[in-house]
Amino acid sequence: MQMEMQQRIDTGQDCVNADAPARIAALTAAFRKSGQPVLHIRHREDDPASAFHEGAAGHQPMPCAQAADGEPIFVKRTSSGFASTDLEAHLRKTGITELIVTGAVVGFCVNSTVRAGADLGFRMTVVKDAVLGFGLSGIPARTIFDVTMAHLAADFA
């Protein structure tokens, strides 16, 4: 499952795994080649001024996250990919019980989605070198990334 690899992803700031898009592209190609499903989660905001508004350039997927024909795209308006989409219903209908998670951003949507998925009984695996992490004011990206990944590993993924 690819989380929010959209053009809005900030560049030029403190980041962990800046090369994650290449890893995501390789993993996606491997999944497609082996016949495994690839799911896409995208974020959308209703505010026309938002970079995540449907018509904004930032809403568009990055090259590593282009959906192939027939691959489901779930558009969310919340932090978790489960809360505002029919992702859970799709997974249950198709018999998918495990999600391999890649994408952005570890401290926000990846974190929320992995926790929600685990709470719903799905096996969640985060590919540590194929997820992006950014810093916050006064907190380095590496700190947020390491703490978030440790919390997820302890109970959720």
Q: What is the pLDDT of residues 122-155, one digit of tens each?
A: 999 999 999 999 999 999 999 999 999 999 999 8
Q: Which of 9, 87, 8 is nearest to 41 (CA)?
A: 87
Q: Is 89 exposed, middle or buried (CB count within 10 Å of its CB: 0-12, 13-18, 19+)? A: exposed
Structural domains for the chain: 2-155 (3.40.50.850)
If one counts every other C-beta atom within 10 angstroms of the C-beta of residue 109, the result is 21
**Structure confidence by residue, pLDDT tens digits, 11-64:** 667 899 999 999 999 999 999 999 999 999 999 989 999 888 888 888 889 999
pTM equals: 0.93
Instruction: Determine contact, residues 90/74, Cβ cutoff 8 Å.
Output: yes
**Cis amide bond preceding 38, omega within 30:** no
